[in-house]
Amino acid sequence: MMTRRDFLSQAAVTAAGLVSIPSPAQSAESVKHLAPPQKPVIVTRETGDNTIDEAYKMLLDGADTLDVCNHICMGREDDPNDRSVGYGGLPNEDGIVELDACCMHGPTRTAGSVGAIQNIRHASLVARLIMERSGHVMLTGLGAEHFAVMYGFKREDLLTDDARKMWLLWKESRSSQNFWGPPMSAPGGKDANPAPSLNHSAIPLHPGPKWAELIRARSQQLTAMAADLGIPEHKRATAVNQILWPTTGTIHVSVVNTKGEMSGATSTSGQAFKIAGRLGDSPIIGAGCYTDQDIGSAGATGSGEENMKVSGAHTIVELMRQGMSPKDAGLEALRRIARNYNGDMTKLRYLDMIYYIVRKDGAYADCSLWSTTASGTPKVFVVHNGAKRIENCAFLLTGTTTN
Ligand code: GLY
């Protein structure tokens, strides 16, 4: 065992007073001297805007890797039609939008995080502000909002009209259990049409022919309620889906440049209709995002509660440190999620998880718990390493979540 005296005699103390610390002992030979990629690499999800191309140009022009992550996150935070991030994100069960975000900056080995912040749309920038302008790593709620406002962030109502109506639909769909929605004296009121609870627990866990029938019946019921609430016809299917399968969307971006510098950032409005104050994985350093300047960067979108239990992003980076490829590391983290349910497919069907991974040398992977979306198309991600491409995710389980 190394004594303190041994340690001090081994450590080279420089004139600046720095102690030379050996590299982490566990790093596999294969990752000890990873050469930077010849071209920068961005991994993220499809954004439907130009920010990924713009971000790549920023990298080519020498921008900091975290600026690049923030640029893509801000595009999602600004989009009123993205139901899972920033302005327009679906609110908590009280109808209030609460955002989570975190970031890690590889070169400076620093991190910032914000949880359950209200009224400030660019949560990813607030996480960075906390990293750069406070002695803390994480702020939440009112304290985080005050901190952001004192640095010039503007307060605004983040609940769009569309999101408000979806929330109303969700609230009224539980009208057999509360006082929201038409009274029994109204046509189609509670007694005339006692809508059963539409939450997950009311849907049998065992998918089967009856299950599909039940979902169809509830979709029809919700569609009628959506019409009654004034949700336009072309928006009803989306609204109904959000009630049946509340979103866990999120944006994560991991980046490496040609110097091998890396950063990661994650931003979300979290699980739709969550209990006020709930934090998912997105603000948790090591779950929603983790960057180690020696190894790589990883982040997650999907079921936050599950990802937190396996510290997904940190697990992946540590497995890469031990020599696993990005793909193998991502699949192993997913295996741990499946293990937490003893592989019970009737429960795993309710979970969704995608990991976005880039190694210091530019090797990358995206790993999804499930192979396909509800409509049967492969789960995909976006990579930009000179040209922007949509690629299929590697996956652990064949099939889809219930949504
Ligand atoms: N992954 C986003 C959340 O669960 O909040």
- pTM summary value: 0.90
Chain centroid to CA 301: how far?
3
**In the structure, what pLDDT confidence band is assigned to residue 6 with cuts at 50, 70 and 90?**
low
Question: Looking at residue 365, what is its pLDDT?
Answer: 98
Active site residue 301: no
Integer Cα distance of 274 and 195 in angstroms: 21
Percentage of residues of the chain with pLDDT beyond 90: 71
Give residue 352 CA to ligand 1 midpoint distance, Å: 10
* Protein residue whose Cα sits closest to atom 5 of ligand 1: 270
Give residue 308 CA to ligand 1 midpoint distance, Å: 9
**In the structure, what pLDDT confidence band is assigned to residue 180 with cuts at 50, 70 and 90?**
confident
Higher pLDDT, 5 or 72: 72
Question: Looking at residue 214, what is its pLDDT?
Answer: 79
Question: Which ligand 1 atom is at minimum distance from the Cα of 280?
Answer: 5
- Three-class DSSP labels, the chain: CCCHHHHHHHCCECCCCCECCCCCCCCCHHHHCCCCCCCCEEEECCCCCCHHHHHHHHHHCCCCHHHHHHHHHHHHHHCCCCCCCCCCCCCCCCCCCCEEEEEEECCCCEEEEEEEECCCCCHHHHHHHHHHHCCCCEEEHHHHHHHHHHCCCCCCCCCCHHHHHHHHHHHHCCCCCCCCCCCCCCCCCCCCCCCCCCCHHHCCCCCCHHHHHHHHHHHHHHHHHHHHCCCCHHHHHHHHHHHHCCCCCCEEEEEECCCCCEEEEEEECCCCCCCCCCCCCCCCECCCEEEECCCEEEEEEECHHHHHHHCHHHHHHHHHHCCCCHHHHHHHHHHHHHHCCCCCHHHHCCCCEEEEEEECCCCEEEEEEECECCCCCECEEEEECCCEEEEECEEEECCCCCC
Give residue 101 CA to ligand 1 midpoint distance, Å: 10
Question: What is the rounded average pLDDT for all residues in the chain?
Answer: 90
Name the residue of 250, 266, 311 whose CB sits within 8 Å of the most ligand 1 atoms, as the mutation to test its pocket: 250
Please enumerate in sequence order all residues whose Cβ is within 8 A of that of 365, keeping only pairs 6 or more positions apart, or say none: 325, 326, 327, 329, 330, 355, 357, 394
Give residue 190 CA to ligand 1 midpoint distance, Å: 33
What digits encode the pLDDT tens for the residues 348-382? 988 999 999 999 999 999 999 999 987 789 999 99
Give residue 270 CA to ligand 1 midpoint distance, Å: 4
Higher pLDDT, 131 or 18: 131
What digits encode the pLDDT tens for the residues 64-92? 999 999 999 999 999 999 999 999 999 99
Instruction: Give me the catalytic one of 51, 247, 301, 315.
Output: 247
**Ligand 1: lining residues by beta carbon, under 6 Å:** 248, 250, 268, 270-271, 280-282, 301-302, 304
Least confident residue range of 47-61, 121-135, 181-195:
181-195
Question: Which ligand 1 atom is at minimum distance from the Cα of 268?
Answer: 2
Decide if pLDDT at 306 tops 70.
yes
Report for 224-228, 248-252, 386-390: range of highest mean pLDDT: 386-390
Question: Looking at residue 258, what is its pLDDT?
Answer: 98
Decide if pLDDT at 11 tops 80.
no
Q: Exposure pattern of 156-173 as b/e (b: 16+ CB <10 Å)?
A: eebbbebbbbbbbbbbbb
Name the residue of 113, 140, 252, 271 whose CB sits within 8 Å of the most ligand 1 atoms, as the mutation to test its pocket: 271
Instruction: Enumerate domains of the chain plus CATH numbers.
Output: 41-158+247-397 (3.60.20.30), 161-176+190-244 (no CATH)
Decide if pLDDT at 190 tops 80.
no
Decide if pLDDT at 206 tops 60.
no
